[in-house]
Amino acid sequence: MTETIDRKTPPRIKDAVEFDVKLKPAEKVTLTNGTQVYAVNAGAEDVLQIEWVFYAGNWFESKNLLAATTNYLLKNGTSSKTAFQLNEHFEYYGSYLNRSCYNETATITLHCLSKHLEVLLPVVREMITDSIFPEDELATYKQNMQQRLRVNLKKCDFVAGRLIDTYLYGEEHPYGRYSRFEDFDALNREEISSFYKHFYQDGKLVLFAAGKLPQNLFELLEKNFGDLPLKGLTLAGIASQPATERKYRVTNDPQGVQGAVRMGSPFPNRHHPDFLKVQVLNSVFGGFFGSRLMSNIREDKGYTYGIYSYLENHIEQSAWVISTEAGRDVCEATITEVYKEMEDLRNEVVDDEELLLVRNYMIGSILGDLDGPFHIINRWKNLVLNGLDENFFYKQIETIKTVSAEELQALANKYLQPEKFYELVVV
């Protein structure tokens, strides 16, 4: 007997909070030299990503820009290959290799077809063990970066991004440092080579691999990187020196019609007990397109195309930042409205409908972030580099689902106080 299908009643729409969200486990292997490898074997296509994460960010540099310059020039020449030959090798096999430098870490990322991994890894090893930083490549890099800086300094949002971090952490802190033309001029090959030796050839490395991984992946990684003379490194604490003044108004372009608004307050890192609950409060406040800040300042007032708040993704310490660009004549009014939204969150509990919307948005975002092996390994990388494990992930899910409106109000009263925030307007 066939079952009758009810085509008149639509199926019930499930809220995202009803889903049982799981983080796919990562396989962990340790190479002979102590290098840890985290791998997620998943995906339908024969492609993979491997990321070499070195503790070689600007946290460790003795001179400004040393870390970023060293990282960039890794692909610009070895004893046996020119920059052109290195790039040609990766392109010949349809692969893509990129470098990135952050505050604490610096990375090399390879995307390639799984079948070509064996011929690509030796060249990555060559970059890590035998880069020579040719003088002509360094000169070209300096010229290009100074030209890029010259263009960016005309943009109010770029200047605002530099300055707010300086106010929050101090100009000499790794999080607050920014580039100057003379910093590029001061770079020299000897110091770059020394940084390279200490933090790449002899440094600390963590490997992350994801995609359709070959069965001999760990053997290949052991063969190419298991004998590197790497040493353990720890992040030495560096005290921040935030500015004493809280309000700044900077004129960058007297003829400009738009201004950049940045507001920020120091905030603890992911290990603080308030962090996960504040992530929910931040979403209500300014963390997504349906937030309070967006509804008021974009939709109602029309001051800006978009305004967001976020917790900065730093390992040692963080900051709660509000960021937008608005017409220069309404920048002050924008700040007033931000404080008004803070006050509302301090004085009134979030209603059930709005809180459910935020819970569903946050769970839905996490589900999107777990779509595919590359996203999954990025989630694992974030946990590992911050000294966390999968328990943090599941605690985050539980917090999103269960944190109460009263708890959010208490946190708003603790953190969303105007006197805690730096104000900056760059026009």
- Three-state secondary structure call for residue 118: helix
Query: End-to-end distance of the chain based on CA atoms, in angstroms?
Result: 74
Residue 138 CA to residue 73 CA, distance in Å, equals 7
Cβ atoms 194, 221 nearer than 8 A? no
User: What tens-digit pLDDT sequence spans the chain (427 residues)?
Assistant: 567 778 888 877 778 788 889 999 999 999 999 999 999 999 889 999 999 999 999 999 999 999 999 999 999 999 999 999 999 999 999 999 999 999 999 999 999 999 999 999 999 999 999 999 999 999 999 999 999 999 999 999 999 999 999 999 999 999 999 999 999 999 999 999 999 999 999 999 999 999 999 999 999 999 999 999 988 777 777 888 999 999 999 999 998 899 999 999 999 999 999 999 999 999 999 999 999 999 999 999 999 999 999 999 899 999 999 999 999 999 999 999 999 999 999 999 999 999 999 999 999 999 998 989 999 999 999 999 999 999 999 999 999 999 999 999 999 999 999 999 999 999 9
**Which parts of 153-221 are beta strand (E)?**
205-211
- Three-state secondary structure call for residue 352: helix
Contacts of residue 31, defined as CB under 8 A and 6 or more positions apart, other chains included, come to 37, 221, 222, 225, 226
In the block, residue with structure tokens 């966390």: 388
Residue 313 CA to residue 319 CA, distance in Å, equals 9
What pLDDT, on a 0 to 100 scale, did the predictor assign at position 301?
A: 95
| Cα distances (Å, whole numbers) of residue 278 to 107, 320, 369, 396 | 29, 10, 20, 11
Dihedral over alpha carbons 248, 249, 252, 256 (to 10 degrees): 140
In the block, residue with structure tokens 């100009």: 171
What pLDDT, on a 0 to 100 scale, did the predictor assign at position 2?
A: 67
Cβ atoms 393, 23 nearer than 8 A? yes
Amino acid at the residue 231: K
Cβ atoms 358, 283 nearer than 8 A? yes
Three-state SS for 296-327 is HHHHHCCCCCCEEEEECCCCCCEEEEEEEEEE
Joined together, the tokens standing for residue 90 give: 């990766």
Domains in the chain: boundaries: 27-225, 247-426
Beta bridge partners of 106: 54, 101
Cβ atoms 423, 246 nearer than 8 A? yes
Amino acid at the residue 268: P
Joined together, the tokens standing for residue 181 give: 């033309």
- Angle in degrees, CA 138, 140, 145, rounded to 5: 95
The pTM assigned to this predicted structure is: 0.92
Spelled out in words, what is the top-level CATH class assigned to the domain 27-225? alpha beta
Joined together, the tokens standing for residue 71 give: 């990282």
- Three-state secondary structure call for residue 195: helix
Dihedral over alpha carbons 251, 255, 258, 263 (to 10 degrees): 0
Pick the CATH number of 247-426 from 3.40.50.300, 3.40.50.2020, 3.30.830.10, 2.40.10.120: 3.30.830.10
In the block, residue with structure tokens 């939204």: 341
